[in-house]
Chain A
Amino acid sequence: MSNNKSTVGIARIKVENQTFYYQYEPSLLDSLEAQNIQAPYNCRAGYCGCCKVRLLQGEVRYTDEAMVDLKDEEILTCICVPKTHIEIELPED
């Protein structure tokens, strides 16, 4: 598991006990959906906050500006893509 900024190659996404490669979907949320992972969402544009997940490891790059308060480890999957290998944790319900 690399926390290295200069990740070589394609980013890996780890969610709970599943790991897969980022396929250059427009957003992390799309990547999760492509794997049939039930990730929460509503607006898909960074302003409702429904898609908030915890980033346990790695870094993401935002494609749009978030309009909701985020704690340090929280990210909005609808407006970001992985920058390095990442590990995320989905909310419980």
Chain B
Amino acid sequence: MSYTTFNVANFDSTKEPMFFGQNVNVARYDKQKYPIFEKLIEKQLSFFWRPEEVDLSNDRKDFIDMPDHEKHIFLSNLKYQTLLDSVQGRSPNVAFLPIVSIPELETWLETWAFSETIHSRSYTHIIRNIVNDPSAIFDEIVTDPEIVKRAQTVTKLYDELINLISVQNVHGYGVHTINNVEYDCTLWNLKCKVYLTMVSVNVLEAIRFYVSFACSFAFAERAIMEGNAKIIKLIARDEALHLTGTQNILNTLASGSDDEEFKAVAVACREEAIALFVEAAEQEKEWAAHLFKDGSMIGLNAQILSEYVEYITNVRLKSVGFEEVFAPRQNPLPWMNAWLSSDNVQVAPQESEISSYLVGQIDNSLEDGDFDDFDF
């Protein structure tokens, strides 16, 4: 079955599985199989923000005054964040949209990827504000071996899935040999790839990003680079939603309530899935060593950051029903919580991005007796 942008078949989308059912036709949200995605979309929309709202003029001064090893920490971290959001701004769309079968999930994927493009724009805003030549920083993202190494692991599963879906789209389900390369496009293998890709996305959003947030916030804990931290706080607020989304998809798939076969897929892929978490944690620890190779900064060093990697990996593993892989420990960076809390994102209440500020909430109905208990 080839992908169609508007499936003319008449079917009930609430009876479709999340993936590999019918292609979506009408983008309708009046009845939903999974209202959670609709809630995530609404929350994400209420979070809308623009990087230009944050003034970074003090950050420029702070950056110039930093010692070289701190500049290295700050810029490497920013380059890594830029890489992660470059991937996330497009990949959920390219990988999952051709196979999704539920309108609210399809729209969530698009809303999610769109918010990542705002994050990418904010890195340009930050880099433009703190250095004279932004190109030098951006160009290094594809030449810095430490970053390139990371790029390969975060994109590997995405690319494999995208390739298989492309082949399946042309040749249908089954094992195909094209130019002496074998493509296993059986439904089972495709489902395994979807599950593992979703795990890898969850690892990216829930572990890799949080390690980078820790570095950004560590600067602001010392009252420097505070504009940058404000932007990262807004990004972190979005990321928390995205990881709720991927955790939800993973848990629903693994439960088998959406598609019975996915339950078996989750069991079969369990070891591989846990290995993805472990691999990411080890890489993040190596990354911590790379960041602090020329010296630590007050409040954060390779050791503490590595402890945080282990702590956050355990938390994320438990959220998707896996056992902890590292020794249980308390959060070594308790101050992170204050930065990750969304109600501390300070906005004027009349601005629509405050999540608790709702428009159209006035009660317009007025009954005859509504003022009876009024005394003048």
Interface residues of A (CB under 8 A from B): 41-45, 47-50, 65, 67-69, 92-93
Contact = CB atoms under 8 A, between A and B. Distances in A.
Contacts of A43: 237, 240, 340-342
B40 A67 contact: yes
B28 interface: no
Nearest first, the 5 closest Cβ-Cβ pairs linking A and B are A42-B340, A48-B240, A45-B342, A44-B341, A43-B342
B328 A92 contact: yes
Interface in B322-376: 328-330, 337, 340-344, 355
A50 B315 CA distance: 9
Contacts of B330: 93
A45 B343 CA distance: 7
Interface stretch (B14-22, B243-251, B283-291): B243-251
Interface in B40-65: 40, 43
A65 B39 contact: yes
A82 to B, nearest CB: 20
Given A42-B340, A67-B40, A68-B247, A47 B241 contact: yes
B341 A42 contact: yes
Contacts of A41: 337, 341
Nearest to B355: A45
A47 B246 CA distance: 12
A3 to B, nearest CB: 29
Interface string B301-332: 00000000000001100010000000011100
A49 B244 contact: yes
Interface in B230-275: 237, 240-241, 243-244, 247-248, 251
Given A41-B337, A43-B341, 17 more contacts: A41-B341, A42-B337, A43-B237, A45-B342, A47-B43, A47-B241, A47-B244, A48-B240, A48-B340, A49-B244, A49-B319, A67-B36, A68-B244, A68-B248, A69-B247, A93-B329, A93-B330
A41 B344 CA distance: 13
A45 B247 CA distance: 17
Contacts of B40: 47, 67
Interface of B: 36, 39-40, 43, 237, 240-241, 243-244, 247-248, 251, 314-315, 319, 328-330, 337, 340-344, 355
A42 B248 CA distance: 18
A93 B247 CA distance: 20
B355 to A, nearest CB: 6
Contacts of B251: 69
Nearest to B251: A69
19 contacts: A41-B337, A41-B341, A42-B240, A42-B337, A42-B340, A43-B340, A43-B342, A44-B342, A44-B343, A45-B342, A45-B355, A47-B244, A49-B244, A49-B247, A49-B319, A67-B241, A69-B251, A93-B314, A93-B328
Contacts of A47: 40, 43, 240-241, 244
Indicate the member of A49, A50, A67, A92 with the most B CB atoms within 10 Å. A67
A42 B330 CA distance: 14
Contacts of B337: 41-42
A7 to B, nearest CB: 27
A8 to B, nearest CB: 26
A44 B339 CA distance: 11
A73 to B, nearest CB: 16
A31 to B, nearest CB: 16
A70 to B, nearest CB: 11
Contacts of B237: 43
A50 B248 CA distance: 14
A92 to B, nearest CB: 7
A65 B342 CA distance: 15
Contacts of A68: 244, 247-248
